[in-house]
Amino acid sequence: MSEQQTLTQGVTVETAEQLGLLAEEFDKIQRVLGRIPNFNELSVYSVMWSEHCSYKNSIRWLKTLPREGRRLLVEAGEENAGLIDLGDGLACAFKIESHNHPSAIEPYQGAATGVGGIHRDIFTMGARPIAALNSLRFGELNNSKTRHLLRGVVRGIGDYGNCFGVPTVGGEIYFESCYQTNPLVNAMSVGIVEHGKTCSAIAQGAGNPVFIVGSATGKDGIHGATFASGDITEDSAQDLPAVQVGDPFQEKLLLEASLEAIATGALVGMQDMGAAGITCSTAEMSAKGKCGMRVDLSKVPTRQPNMKPWEILLSESQERMLVVVHQGREAEIQAVFDKWDLHCVQIGEVTDTGRLEYYMEGSKVADIPAESLVLGGGAPVYDRETREPAYLAQRETINPRDYPVPSNALRAALRLAVHPNIASRRWVTTQYDSMVGIDNASTNAPSDASVIRLKNSQKALAMTVDCNARYVHADPYTGAAIAVAEAARNITCSGGEGLAITNCLNFGNPYNPEVYWQFVHAIRGMGDACRRFGTPVTGGNVSFYNQSAEDGPVFPTPVIGMVGLIEDFSQRMTLDFKRPGDLLVQVGRLSEDMNSSIYLQIYHNIAYSAAPEFDLEEEVRMQNLVRRLIRAGLVQSAHDLSEGGLFICALESAMAGRRGFSLRTVDGLRKDGILFGEAQGRVLLSIRPEDWDALQALAEEMGVPVHLFGEVTDDAVTVDAQDYGRISEWATRYEQALADMMDAPGA
């Protein structure tokens, strides 16, 4: 068959729609090519113009986020991950991404390959991954399917990360009915690289050879990007081939080989083969370098015989990279990958045509302008219809103060301590290796953020992932701003200052006007908060189509991954109470607001209410004060008030320090609001009694209210002089609650 015959075997608009393309997009493809595409070309466009790769329904709004800052070393979206300057010749690469749909169908491999993929984004830049975090959402824990998904996801994250040798140092888990069919699995990786030793995801230099390195290519993961760009349905299990299969031991070899190859100086560029596989890496690297590639698919090492061109192009088999090498230095790179017993096969070369020309057994099977495929190039951009959700007006009619104050606050406190969104995550975290690499400072001395010491330095990284989606659902603008503020607050309470964020934006179907309204307002809230905290957005991931016919769209869940710096590790702060007699001081405004609190949900059966009180300017002032107090040596412990309010905050610090506490509520304010309300902008400190006057003076100078709520005790817990038992009793309930739910009859 001649080259011309191969390229003119056209397809129909019906085929395009079956592959997830719109009729108008099929028309655009014909205009770009000047002819009807063949099936291979249409398959390439279908994955590259999918939501997962092109961000066609989100890029307009993503561009409104702050993308500049004095610490940024690359612009958002310029490389595989964000890169920020840490000083002393070091930089931090970090990113978060979703693997939601694969995890809903095959939780173990879905989660495992999500971990592997995000680590590859880090080490393709030349950075060595030093820490992993995750943000997980599941349905109600009393549901057997939820427990199945949770077991599989946690085991997948643990097995891959543990074998790969990077500690899992932090994360979050929430349980809400809206995630019953469509769980969220977001994975974050953080790595370190020396200045000048990074590698770019770019192709340049006509004649430079193009290599595929790592694992062989199989049929797993084909159309994975398309699969991620559609709703979960009852037929989704039939898409199981779209779920990739990971091998952490192969990835460990690939890590070491990649870093060694970068160190030779022989590489022009390198990119992970993630979503859309060879298609994505060849297209994005070529478009970035304003060049083209000629690729012989016959030379790609494959796992199955007789793979078709479109199968090779779209496969998302794991642990693979595309590498462009300086001409004449091929033997150096070949030697590196031979040493690590990995495939290293030249499959093509860079051209100056700007086109991607794919061949198979001597015949050209596809010919596409690279720029037409990519985000920021020819990929379509849409701005969808928005409509304010009807439920928001209903929430404004609910006033929590209309509900009676409980006669027995202890009963409410006991229920909160074992609630699945509050109770200890020990059942999960013990399945993760948090100590490999020995730099994790948070294992025995916990902080609000995870803290990793930098080798041969006084500095440490503080990192966290945060989002209370219930708040975002109540008010997308305010809830997204709160997610940024809480991430910054966790780093502040650990003695650091936030530098930049990555985000994972999990929403329902963008063609639903109410979902798109949530997305737009969440972006605005996130952007305003990031600008105020000076934490630019380095990149991240948009995951639309998280919904099902049974449950509808998930809560809007814009997860914030923030990295901060502790300049002097000796000023690192922990959350555990230190000694009896220390005073408990709340920094931030007194509030009895109970909106969107777990207390309101479980005690008064109010499923949904307005977002909790939040003032961005007050939050910034409060955090500035806490950092100054820590640096002045006036703080013994710091912990932010979040889910469960003041009581749960004090309880967690007490259990971490094996101490008790005594609290006194405020006359004239609701006792339940003071104890269990979740108003934002508040931190609980323990301080030495002799430091109270100095703390007050500094707080007054900075215009931040403070309130003395009680003191640390030996082991007794009291509220308004009422005996609440011993801290050991609370710890037993808190630590065992999640395990008991997982081991319940029928589990």
Collapsing DSSP to helix, strand or coil, 694 comes out as helix
Residue 5 has pLDDT above 90, yes or no: no
Distances (CA, A) of 678 to 280, 589, 703: 44, 12, 22
Residue 448 has pLDDT above 80, yes or no: yes
Q: 183 exposed, middle or buried (CB, 10 Å; 0-12, 13-18, 19+)?
A: buried
Sorting pLDDT into bands at 50, 70 and 90, what band is 7?
low
* pLDDT tens per residue across span 450-472: 999 998 899 999 999 999 999 99
Beta carbons of 501 and 537 less than 8 angstroms apart: yes
In the prediction, which pLDDT does 94 show? Answer: 97
Output 175 or 20, whichever has higher pLDDT. Answer: 175
Distances (CA, A) of 354 to 207, 268, 292, 346, 634: 13, 17, 4, 20, 61
Sorting pLDDT into bands at 50, 70 and 90, what band is 244?
low
In the prediction, which pLDDT does 234 show? Answer: 53
Beta carbons of 738 and 424 less than 8 angstroms apart: yes
Distances (CA, A) of 383 to 58, 59, 63, 571: 8, 9, 13, 47
Beta carbons of 124 and 80 less than 8 angstroms apart: yes
Residue in 52, 223, 419, 473 annotated catalytic: 52
* pLDDT tens per residue across span 44-103: 999 999 988 899 999 999 999 999 988 999 887 788 899 999 999 999 999 999 999 989
In the prediction, which pLDDT does 236 show? Answer: 46
Residue 3 has pLDDT above 80, yes or no: no
Sorting pLDDT into bands at 50, 70 and 90, what band is 10?
confident
Average pLDDT value for the chain: 93
d(Cα 565, Cα 495) in Å, to the nearest integer? 9
> Tokens standing for 328?
């004449």
Sorting pLDDT into bands at 50, 70 and 90, what band is 394?
confident
What percentage of the chain reaches a pLDDT higher than 90?
A: 85
d(Cα 119, Cα 165) in Å, to the nearest integer? 11
Say whether 99 is catalytic.
yes
In the prediction, which pLDDT does 438 show? Answer: 59
In the prediction, which pLDDT does 327 show? Answer: 98
Beta-ladder partners of 465? 561
Angle at 654 (CA atoms; ends 653, 660), nearest 5 degrees: 155
Collapsing DSSP to helix, strand or coil, 675 comes out as helix
- Residue 111 has phi, psi (to 5 degrees) of -75, -40
Given CA atoms 624, 629, 632, 633 in this order, what sign does their dihedral have?
Answer: negative
Q: In 111-208, where do the E strands start and end?
A: 128-138, 168-175, 184-194
> Tokens standing for 178?
């809206």
Enter the pTM of the model. 0.95
* pLDDT tens per residue across span 527-575: 999 999 999 999 999 999 999 988 899 999 999 999 999 999 999 999 9
d(Cα 639, Cα 459) in Å, to the nearest integer? 21
Sorting pLDDT into bands at 50, 70 and 90, what band is 2?
very low
Beta carbons of 681 and 589 less than 8 angstroms apart: yes
In the predicted model, what is the mean pLDDT of residues 639-666? 98
Beta carbons of 132 and 166 less than 8 angstroms apart: yes
> Tokens standing for 479?
């809830």
Beta-ladder partners of 719? 663, 722
Residue 744 has pLDDT above 70, yes or no: yes
* pLDDT tens per residue across span 348-386: 999 999 999 999 999 999 999 999 999 889 999 999 999
In the predicted model, what is the mean pLDDT of residues 117-136? 96
Say whether 148 is catalytic.
no
> Tokens standing for 579?
């000694």
Beta carbons of 318 and 247 less than 8 angstroms apart: yes
What percentage of the chain reaches a pLDDT higher than 70?
A: 94
d(Cα 747, Cα 732) in Å, to the nearest integer? 21
| CB atoms near residue 662 (< 10 Å) | 18
